[in-house]
Amino acid sequence: MSNRAVIAGSSVVSFVPGVEAQDQTDIMNSIALAQLTADKRFHRVQQMQAWFEAFVNTLVEVGWAPDDEMLDATVPHKQVYDDLEEAALHNLQGIKHASLRRSVKASIEVLRLNTVAQDIFESRSRSGAVAYYQFVPCEFRQALGNYIYVSGMHITSRRDVKNILFDGRTIRKTDVLDVGLGWSAFYLVRQDYDRYRDDVLKQLAGLQDNFFRLLSH
């Protein structure tokens, strides 16, 4: 069984096989509300740290509990990469479970083959020469239940490219990318989210039809 991947606003959300359909819906709606709430307060690209903290706070408010071992809502020192995919995969080093790493890698490969989806993701994630890409792999864990890993990359390109995420593979050493990496992890407290589900749906009532775009089944 393959991983399911969905563009949810400005995030690529992927599901390891085993996450129930209703849980997938709850996860995507949680991420959608967190994004929309953060977007109302901060510019996603230009104010990444404040935006990310608002995103995290909304998740917690609707029933997600941080994994204390993984929670890191600060932006690490920038590192320089010649290949942007290298940066994306580097950001996965904090994921303890190989299944989540494979899920992100698979979603990136699917995105690479779909130029229409690439353009959508790029337009939602980029502002000029700066972009913020977010990948959210999800899985069900016996001990914790539904678990998500939020992996973000804040990128500044030193030359004009159509698609920073994938054109970064061809950038020369003299035109390297500045990349800031950040991540957090959460598990769903089901009884808490059940109390908030109707309110989450009410707040998403005006969501545009194209907010979610299926990448792979």
Tens of pLDDT, residue by residue over 128-154, are 888 888 999 999 988 889 999 998 888
> Residue 137 has what pLDDT?
92
Residues 29, 26: Cα–Cα separation, whole Å: 5
Provide the percentage of residues in the chain whose pLDDT is more than 70.
79
Question: What integer is the mean pLDDT of 59-70?
Answer: 88
Report the range of poorest mean pLDDT among 79-83, 123-127, 206-210.
79-83
pTM of the predicted protein model: 0.88
Question: What integer is the mean pLDDT of 12-36?
Answer: 95
3-state SS of the chain? CCCEEEEECCEEEEECCCCCHHHHHHHHHHHHHHHHHHHHHCCCCCCHHHHHHHHHHHHHHCCEEECCCCCECCCCCCEEECCHHHHHHHHHHHCCCHHHHHHHHHHHHHHHCCHHHHHHHHHHHEECCEEEEEEEEEEEECCCEEEEEEEEEEEECCCCCCCHHHHHHHCCHHHCEEEEEEEEEEEECHHHHHHHHHHHHHHCCCCCHHHEEEEEC
Tens of pLDDT, residue by residue over 66-111, are 987 665 444 445 556 655 666 666 666 666 678 888 888 888 888 8
Give Cβ neighbours of residue 176 (< 8 Å, ≥ 6 apart): 80, 81, 82, 158
Are 214 and 10 contacting, i.e. CB atoms less than 8 angstroms apart? Answer: no
Give the right CATH number for 4-207 from 3.40.198, 3.40.50, 3.10.450, 3.30.420: 3.40.198
Question: What integer is the mean pLDDT of 3-31?
Answer: 93
Of residues 182 and 31, the one with the higher pLDDT is 31
Question: What integer is the mean pLDDT of 185-189?
Answer: 93
Question: What integer is the mean pLDDT of 191-216?
Answer: 90
Are 25 and 49 contacting, i.e. CB atoms less than 8 angstroms apart? Answer: no
With a cut of 90, say whether residue 55 has pLDDT above it. yes
- Which residue type does 41 have? R
Reading the block at residue 177, the tokens are 């990318």
Residues 152, 182: Cα–Cα separation, whole Å: 5
Are 55 and 38 contacting, i.e. CB atoms less than 8 angstroms apart? Answer: yes
Per the DSSP assignment, residues forming a β-bridge with 182 are 152
Highest mean pLDDT out of 33-37, 41-45, 76-80, 154-158: 33-37
First vs last C-alpha separation in the chain: 9
With a cut of 80, say whether residue 8 has pLDDT above it. yes
